[in-house]
């Protein structure tokens, strides 16, 4: 008999709040986290708005506080969200269980902070061209092992396992916007196949910095609605004009189902299915027919043993770009049927796009939807795109039971992730 996986802890640091409760409340109230950028001067950029995490306090206490020097902004979000998730679950790695804990995270890609790059420029590229011969000369850069460690692609996962004493499987995943979803999916598989009994699984990112914002501005992927930040992200609306960058982290504690039941854990939902696919079409888009996302959704439903008719809510990838939104809607119609009335919303309408963190945060939202029986709205949907003809959550609805929820994440590079969550009472032990 296949092992099942329970979600027993959730931690969120998002543009909507620095805790799960605050983020969830803002989602239900339809409060936007998008505003003018405050962390640096964006006046030279065509895009001057984003969904920033505000009033953030790093979470580590006592002796672990010294580790923060190794943590970039996005890693600090990760540590705080993971701390919340572990406290929320009421179970943590101890010397006896440490090797049965896994840690998997969709890890943001940006390494070198702007100020560090500025130092490199001053010392090694005074006129803009990099001069490696200056590297070891007097006046060249001083080695900075802490900064070097901080800039490693796996610094986040390394700090997570160190801070929480996790000694089993560790994995950092990067497939752009699919990273967080694929990481949570891998964690599900680790517990199922017996490689772990517990997993700290999530995603984290922050690209709201001079280089990250530049890289998306250069691509022309972002909304330039600087004058109306709260309305700038409008997935599935005819007038949408790009996505809005967000930042933050979401982590979940996953446990083998029977063990979670035995210890009397509060179970938000069953993490029931994981589906992955490659679009194999273009770097930035999936096919207008939905090919690619279709396979991910079908695989996830099949993996969960769920029928499309059981699904009560889809947290869409819904970036607010024409190509994504139309391809995703075509995929949902293909999987659920043209007559399906399944409820759909994109929470990116309120919290922007958390990139490598998005899939994990949105899967956690899916678990909260099932736990509370409430659906977050798709904000700013005033003129639905006729090619996005789905049953969107446009207003607050009375609480009702959601048996199965789905979370989609599709990344640049063509990786697609779909996760399926099931109500604990339908898990069928």
Partner 1 sequence: MSEAVVITAAGAICALGADPGAILAALRAGRTAFAPLREWDSSTWPAPLAACADQLDAAAIFSDRKLLKSVQRLRRTDLLGLYAASRAIAASGMIEYRAALDGAQAAAFNENTAVFTGCGGVAYHYQYDFLPAMAAADGDIGVFGRQLGASVNPTWLLQALPNNVLCYLGIAYGFKGPNFCVTNHSVSGTTAIIEAFHSLRGGDAPRAVAVGHDAPIEPETILNLYHLGLLTSESVRPFDAARSGCLLGEGAAAMVLETASAAAQRGAAVLGTILGTGVATEAAGVLAIRPDGDGEARAIEMALEEAGVEPGAISLIAAHGNGTVNSDLSEAAAIRQVFGAVIPPVTSFKWALGHTMAAAGALDAVIALGCVRTALAPGIATLRDPDPRCLPLPVSAAATPLRGKIALVLGRGFGGMNTALVIQAPAEDCDE
CB 278 within 8 A of CB 415: yes
According to DSSP, residue 420 is labeled: E
Nearer Cβ to partner 1, position 144 or 227?
Answer: 144
From 103, 163, 177, 418, active-site residue: 177
- Residue 241 DSSP code: -
Q: Is 317 a catalytic residue?
A: yes
DSSP 222: B
Packing angle between helix 358-372 and helix 20-29, nearest 10 degrees? 80
* Catalytic residue chosen out of the listed positions 74, 287, 317, 423: 317
Task: Spell out the alpha helix ranges (H) of 313-406.
Answer: 322-336, 348-351, 358-372
Provide the 8-state DSSP code for 143: P
Orientation angle between helical segments 210-219 and 114-124, nearest 10 degrees: 90
| Residue listed under structure tokens 């269980």 | 97
In the complex, the smallest distance separating the C-beta of residue 29 from partner 1, rounded to whole angstroms, is: 33
Dihedrals phi, psi of 313, to nearest 5 degrees: -160, 135
**Would you say 192 or 266 has its CB closer to partner 1?**
192
Judged on CB neighbours under 10 Å (0-12, 13-18, 19+), 427 is: middle
User: Catalytic annotation on 177?
Assistant: yes
For residue 150, the minimal CB distance to partner 1 (Å) is 8
Nearest of 217, 213, 198 to residue 263 by alpha carbon: 198
Gap between the Cα atoms of 205 and 192, Å rounded: 27
Detail the DSSP E strand segments found in 27-84.
35-36, 49-50
Contacts 24+ apart (CB under 8 A), 394-400: 396/28, 396/30, 399/372, 399/373, 399/374, 400/312, 400/373
Instruction: Specify the residue, 185 or 250, whose C-beta has the smaller distance to partner 1.
Output: 185
User: How remote is the C-alpha of 68 from its chain's centroid?
Assistant: 22
Catalytic (active site) residue 163:
no
Write the CA distances from 239 to 228, 244, 301, 381, 386, integer angstroms: 13, 14, 32, 9, 11
Q: Which C-beta is closer to partner 1: that of 219 or that of 396?
A: 219
We find the least distance from the C-beta atom of residue 424 to partner 1, in angstroms, to be: 24
Least distance in angstroms from the C-beta of 425 to partner 1: 27
Active-site hit among 74, 174, 353, 371: 353
Query: Angle of helix 179-193 relative to helix 358-372, nearest 10 degrees?
Result: 70
Residues in the chain: 429
| Cα radius of gyration rounded to whole Å, the chain | 21
- Residue 54 or 282: the one with the smaller Cβ distance to partner 1 is 282
Q: Which residues of 33-47 are buried (b: 16+ CB within 10 A; e: fewer)?
A: bbeebebeebeebeb
Q: Which of 67, 84, 76 is nearest to 108 (CA)?
A: 76
Cβ 304 to partner 1, closest distance in Å? 14
**Which of residues 157 and 419 has its CB atom nearest to partner 1 in the complex?**
157
Residue positions annotated with a catalytic role: 177, 317, 353
């Amino acid at each position: 008999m296949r092992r099942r996986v329970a979600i027993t802890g959730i931690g969120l640091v998002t543009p909507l709040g620095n805790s799960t409760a605050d983020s969830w409340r803002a989602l239900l109230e339809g409060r936007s986290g998008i505003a003018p950028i405050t962390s640096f001067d964006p006046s030279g950029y065509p895009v001057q708005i984003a969904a920033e995490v505000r009033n953030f306090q790093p979470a580590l206490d006592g002796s672990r506080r010294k580790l923060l020097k190794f943590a970039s902004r996005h890693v600090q979000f990760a540590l705080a969200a993971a701390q919340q998730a572990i406290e929320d679950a009421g179970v943590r790695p101890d010397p006896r269980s440490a090797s049965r804990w896994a840690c998997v995270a969709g890890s943001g890609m940006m390494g070198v902070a702007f100020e560090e790059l500025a130092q490199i420029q001053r010392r090694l590229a005074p006129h803009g061209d990099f001069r490696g011969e200056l590297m070891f000369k007097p006046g060249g850069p001083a080695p900075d092992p802490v900064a070097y460690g901080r800039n490693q692609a796996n610094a986040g996962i390394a700090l997570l396992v160190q801070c929480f004493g996790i000694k089993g499987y560790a994995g950092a995943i990067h497939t752009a916007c699919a990273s967080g979803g694929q990481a949570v999916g891998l964690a599900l598989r680790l517990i199922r196949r017996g490689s772990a009994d517990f997993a700290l699984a999530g995603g984290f990112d922050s690209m709201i910095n001079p280089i990250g914002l530049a890289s998306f501005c250069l691509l022309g992927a972002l909304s330039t609605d600087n004058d109306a930040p709260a309305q700038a992200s409008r997935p599935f609306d005819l007038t949408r004009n790009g996505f809005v960058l967000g930042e933050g982290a979401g982590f979940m504690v996953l446990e083998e189902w029977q063990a979670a039941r035995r210890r009397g854990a509060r179970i938000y939902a069953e993490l029931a299915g994981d589906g992955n696919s490659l679009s194999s079409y273009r770097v930035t888009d999936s096919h207008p027919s939905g090919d690619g996302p279709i396979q991910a959704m079908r695989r996830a439903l099949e993996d969960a043993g769920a029928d499309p008719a059981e699904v009560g809510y889809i947290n869409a990838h819904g970036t607010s770009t024409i190509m994504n939104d139309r391809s995703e809607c075509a995929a949902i119609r293909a999987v659920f049927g043209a007559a399906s009335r399944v409820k759909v919303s994109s929470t990116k309408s309120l919290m922007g796009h958390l990139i490598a963190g998005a899939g994990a945060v949105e899967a956690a939202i899916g678990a909260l939807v099932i736990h509370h029986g409430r659906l977050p709205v798709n904000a700013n949907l005033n003129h639905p795109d006729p090619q996005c003809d789905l049953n969107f959550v446009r207003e607050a609805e009375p609480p009702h039971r959601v048996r199965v929820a789905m979370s989609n994440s599709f990344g640049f590079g063509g990786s697609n992730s779909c996760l399926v969550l099931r109500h604990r009472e339908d898990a069928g032990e």
